[in-house]
Structure 1
């Protein structure tokens, strides 16, 4: 249980360092952007950011995970850090130079020929974020979450302030002749580009904060080690690309395959993307868990009883995710107010997206085995299978007119497949005993409770006070049921004997 408590503590700390910045971003920016941007503009914003996520994987080569693997011994850590950092520095400079020469062709291909500034800003974001990848990994491996949190928070604060400044204050101030000089600081009458520009400045601030790490490079690039690290990370690149496709391909496919014109298709993509922001709490918990779990598992791989801990971790993760699912869905009436009124039509996809994210988290938990035993190729193949499902099912459903419901249901099918396959493969190559019966019970009880709340909603019609009151009772009943089922576990977690 000591390892569980240790991981729980690190997840809580990394929760603060990763959840808090993104939560601030969600609480402050999502309500603002979904009220000031049109659905089509928000669709552009979401469409292009999906490519940022994709190229973040490609440009980092997943060397942050390889760094964890090859820095396990303290004497190897400086060489692994120097090699990964120097390689990414060189490859990023090369990418940036080539990409800036191809800005207009890229803008044409993306169907934004009149807005090459979109592409320029995104290239800069990609380059700057890549330069922070290994320094951030070094902070995680050195177990310095407070420093990690400080950098992330600074980035979000700068980004949020600039978005409000560019989109709200500048248009007001620039109406006065004395303030028209502000036009040189941003893209006038181009709110989408201004959002990207704010991100560029925030990413630049990140680079400045991790810059001291570059001065600590004391060794030359080790080409032998680099080949080993790239060989290790290559399947993870495939898995990462597949993961981005599975999570973010919905908006780009809606843009190209939707039944309307470009503007209406982007509007559908904007509605869907806004809906995906509601499951942010489950997403953020999964990210915080992953930030803590990946280096934690590597550091404790040789500890006695570590494999038993993995099963307990999966059980705890499932329980917390089910609580998050219920907590959001039973309060969707007021949680949905975070979105602008014109975007709330997409709220019907939220329960599906929440379940999809729950299975994504389970896949992350089940898939740690292939990183520990150097079978990352298996993870790559599983992710590729999920991507195939994602692409084919999205194409079929979007062309059948399911609009933004298509990527939501596709995500759920994809992550169920990946979770089941990862579990099955793990039992073959690196068997770990998971308490599947209890995990399934948590999930079925949560779905049953949600179904009951929908019956209440139908019966109570529009009486919001009745709906929320009964939903609170349902959520409380779920907690009581879980505590009754897991009384020994709860007592152990509290440090008391059962």
Structure 2
């Protein structure tokens, strides 16, 4: 099997847990937007924005560090696994306890009334459990156990979905007498209506605990090893990645934290700022379809890039991977953006959420450039110059904060979306420019920019050309989507056969 086909095969397996699994989770958006008002869903959006930052702190770059050191000649992978696991166990215990003790002040950051401190406690437990599971999952990826990885991920997602449906749909309906009246005594014993959106966090917590049980073999294989001298090189390599990750989270999630603070009251008539966050968060979920593809690709590609780094033709391989990654993401960008009204009818329950659909194409394109940046970043990871990633991440963070400050009061959540796009485009452009000087790779930059320009043009055409509602509009959009896919297949398809 060729290198590219092997990577595609691994990506497909990881995609079962990442894309398919996340798509199943994505279906919960329909449940949330149908059962919760925008202001309530704003709580979930805000809480998980903070979780994104804290996930980076809890793992502090140890996954990438584990891959890098595991592929160095002479490394004892078993000993490395024990040392990294020891670090994460200790740090996760300390951080989880600290967050639980600081639950009340943390809740005040979201301007939530007293009584919601339990949300922060549950979130802290989720973060701790997920951090402990991170390195066993990385070990499965390193050992090419993609099927086991995918199976455990799917089990986690399946339980999370089942519990969400039980507590958010079944229990309220049974208590309301809509169906299964005989179950009312049982439901009344296990369900507390005052928890409300808290069941989103409780379901996540139960699924995270279940995941550790499924990783029992990898956890029982662990031996506690704490010695400062061997872990210093690990920490030196990891801390720039953590800083890079924190800067990345600023670019990815800070808009949902800043939006309720910098959005003028009454900007959206009849809607509170927290409700605006809920609308933006729900529409942001539609753009996460691009992130799902990127995540599945990353699971397979990160160990692949490190393993291929010693091959003579690795630069050509990396260029080929970026090309096809970008083309696939461009087709997804067109498919979702052109047909976003249909997607919204399926996934957004209440009409109040659909007023923010204009941000979806912008955020999809932003996430596409984030994926491009991640591909381009291979040069500083392979040359051990991870501090460049920190510089690029912080440059993006500064731009994100500045543009949100300038644009939110004028454009609302569209300003946040444009800030995200500008940030990821700048980071990708700078990463390519620096890579050309430190680790040249023959990326087909001009060709890819032309394809992206065509994709943007088709999306703009679908939004700006007036077409009658109903089947004429659906048909026009389907024609545009299939036309773009057909052109890509006709021009680039013959090249695929020789990979």
Tell me the TM-score normalized by structure 1.
Answer: 0.94
Equivalents in 2 of 1:22, 1:246: separation in Å?
21
Any stretches of 5+ residues in structure 2 without a counterpart? Answer: none
The 8 Å contact of residues 69 and 75 in structure 2, kept in 1 or not, is answered as no
Partner of 2:475: 469
Partner of 2:280: 272
Secondary structure of the residue that 2:226 maps to in structure 1?
coil
**CA distances 1:91-136 after superposition (whole Å, capped 9, x unpaired):** 1111222222222222234322421111111111111111101011
Equivalents in 2 of 1:195, 1:254: separation in Å?
22
Structure 2 vs 1, CA of residues 453 and 208 (structure 1 numbering), >3 Å: closer, same or farther? same
**CA distances 1:314-373 after superposition (whole Å, capped 9, x unpaired):** 111111011001111222221111112221111111110111011011000111111111
Partner of 1:489: 495
Secondary structure of the residue that 2:112 maps to in structure 1?
coil
Structure 2 vs 1, CA of residues 345 and 234 (structure 1 numbering), >3 Å: closer, same or farther? same
- How do 1:426-441 residues align onto structure 2 when only pairs under 5 Å count? 426-441=435-450
Partner of 1:9: 9
Partner of 2:42: 43
Equivalents in 2 of 1:311, 1:450: separation in Å?
26
**CA distances 1:28-73 after superposition (whole Å, capped 9, x unpaired):** x011111101101111101010111111100111101100011115
Equivalents in 1 of 2:186, 2:396: separation in Å?
50
Partner of 1:245: 250
CA RMSD of aligned residues (A): 2.0
Structure 2 vs 1, CA of residues 224 and 183 (structure 1 numbering), >3 Å: closer, same or farther? farther
- Is 1:388 matched with 2:398? yes
Partner of 2:315: 307
Equivalents in 2 of 1:437, 1:150: separation in Å?
40
- The offset of 1:220, in angstroms, is 2.0
Secondary structure of the residue that 2:193 maps to in structure 1?
coil
Structure 2 vs 1, CA of residues 180 and 438 (structure 1 numbering), >3 Å: closer, same or farther? same
Equivalents in 2 of 1:474, 1:109: separation in Å?
45
Aligned residue pairs total 488
- Is 1:410 matched with 2:419? yes
Please point out which of 177, 198, 221 is paired with 1:193.
198
- Is 1:348 matched with 2:382? no
- Is 1:290 matched with 2:302? no
Structure 2 vs 1, CA of residues 487 and 64 (structure 1 numbering), >3 Å: closer, same or farther? closer
Structure 2 vs 1, CA of residues 447 and 178 (structure 1 numbering), >3 Å: closer, same or farther? closer
Moved more, 330-339 or 379-388: 330-339
Structure 2 vs 1, CA of residues 97 and 218 (structure 1 numbering), >3 Å: closer, same or farther? closer
- How do 1:152-301 residues align onto structure 2 when only pairs under 5 Å count? 152-174=153-175, 179-180=184-185, 182=187, 185-218=190-223, 220-260=225-265, 264-301=272-309
Equivalents in 2 of 1:301, 1:48: separation in Å?
39
Secondary structure of the residue that 2:131 maps to in structure 1?
helix
- The offset of 1:178, in angstroms, is 7.6
Moved more, 62-71 or 324-333: 324-333
Secondary structure of the residue that 1:85 maps to in structure 2?
helix
- The offset of 1:181, in angstroms, is 6.0
- The offset of 1:221, in angstroms, is 2.9
**CA distances 1:204-227 after superposition (whole Å, capped 9, x unpaired):** 111111132121124623432311
The 8 Å contact of residues 271 and 404 in structure 1, kept in 2 or not, is answered as no
Equivalents in 2 of 1:187, 1:52: separation in Å?
24
**CA distances 1:283-316 after superposition (whole Å, capped 9, x unpaired):** 1111111111111011111112111111111111
Partner of 1:52: 51
The 8 Å contact of residues 18 and 288 in structure 1, kept in 2 or not, is answered as yes
- The offset of 1:480, in angstroms, is 3.0
The 8 Å contact of residues 53 and 244 in structure 1, kept in 2 or not, is answered as yes
Structure 2 vs 1, CA of residues 107 and 7 (structure 1 numbering), >3 Å: closer, same or farther? same
- The offset of 1:242, in angstroms, is 1.0
- The offset of 1:77, in angstroms, is 1.0
Partner of 1:496: none
Please point out which of 428, 435, 453 is paired with 1:444.
453
- The offset of 1:255, in angstroms, is 1.9
Partner of 1:76: 76
The 8 Å contact of residues 287 and 363 in structure 2, kept in 1 or not, is answered as yes
**CA distances 1:226-269 after superposition (whole Å, capped 9, x unpaired):** 11111101111011111111111111111222212898111111
Structure 2 vs 1, CA of residues 444 and 272 (structure 1 numbering), >3 Å: closer, same or farther? same
Tell me the TM-score normalized by structure 2.
Answer: 0.93
The 8 Å contact of residues 62 and 238 in structure 2, kept in 1 or not, is answered as yes
Any stretches of 5+ residues in structure 1 without a counterpart? Answer: 494-498
The 8 Å contact of residues 393 and 427 in structure 2, kept in 1 or not, is answered as yes
Secondary structure of the residue that 2:225 maps to in structure 1?
coil
Equivalents in 2 of 1:68, 1:348: separation in Å?
39
- Is 1:323 matched with 2:331? yes
The 8 Å contact of residues 151 and 209 in structure 1, kept in 2 or not, is answered as yes
- Is 1:25 matched with 2:21? no
Partner of 2:86: 86
The 8 Å contact of residues 43 and 268 in structure 1, kept in 2 or not, is answered as yes
The 8 Å contact of residues 187 and 194 in structure 1, kept in 2 or not, is answered as no
- The offset of 1:190, in angstroms, is 2.7
